Amino acid sequence: MSLLVCGSLAFDTIMNFEGRFAEQILPSQLHILNVSFLVPSLRREYGGCAGNIAYGLRQLGSEVVPLATLGNDGQDYLDRLNAMGVDTRHIAAAADSYTAQAMIMTDLDNNQITAFHPGAMSHAHTNPVPVRQDIRLAIVAPDGRDAMLLHAQQLHAAGIPFVFDPGQGLPMFNGPELEHFVELATWITVNDYEGRMLCDRTGLSLEALSERVEGLVVTLADQGCEVWQRAKRTPVDGVAATAVVDPTGCGDAFRAALLHGLAQGWDLTRCVALGNRMGAAKIASRGGQNYQFDTNS
């Protein structure tokens, strides 16, 4: 079985602020916000949700097919994916755009401020879900707005179960659109903040949302996660990291494990337990695609 990962491919420029955002921002002055952060360290990494999830799936030995779009500067990224054994046949190229770029700044509390240039990702809706017999499970991760809507519809029409992972793309959608995603999806995964926003925009509680899908997962960073199924909440303990270095890509590592477990037919709590281990392994290294995961650990 091949796993289809619909999402972005991007270059991440990662910066570290050796302070705390909360100490630099005056809540009473947000309407005239004008701040600058000194970032002594800066590096460029391969990223994007589809790329990070594909990397995690290859760490677990799964066959993965990204559905994504690179820009005219993306050949190195394509070469990297091919070297990892990723099926790149459905990665399109937008000749008149740069590959999507994320500029991520992290403070001492692992809070992050991100600026994102979509670039080639804006053309992702022109790259349809492929018709292939070996693809029987998918994830719709953050991507161009139109692409997320279209790919969810195409997967549902093809009878391919999928995980809806709105991530940082969630604010692009209104309540009815998010409800439509829920109707089409088989599973949903969000972090705590995204879960609150999803509930706020749809007017539905986590309990109610979980009645509409086979499972809803809410990640809680080092506190583990909550698994909601048929309005029943099951907590799953977190895993202590050997070091807390960089949170970039932790959510994608978790989702790779979730998708891998679902492909094996595991129950949802076992899937997310693996996800917690993957997230702990990822946070101990810099960038979204540099960690190594021992499946026997």
pLDDT tens profile 91-124 = 999 999 999 998 989 899 988 898 889 999 999 9
Is 297's pLDDT higher than 70? no
Is 248's pLDDT higher than 90? no
**Annotation says 252 is catalytic:** yes
Contact partners, residue 70, CB within 8 Å, separation at least 6: 9, 77, 78, 91, 92, 93, 94, 99, 120
Q: Of 87, 107, 246, 252, which residue is the catalytic one?
A: 252
Please choose, from the candidates 48, 75, 19, the residue with its C-alpha nearest in 3D space to the C-alpha of residue 252: 48
Pairing label, strands 41-47, 10-16: antiparallel
Q: Which two tokens stand for residue 207?
A: 């309990």
pLDDT tens profile 249-262 = 999 999 999 999 99
| Domain ranges (residues) in the chain | 2-21+41-283
What share of the chain has pLDDT > 70, as a percent? 100
* Average pLDDT across the chain, whole number: 95
Q: Which class is 2-21+41-283 in CATH?
A: alpha beta
Q: Which two tokens stand for residue 280?
A: 């702990």
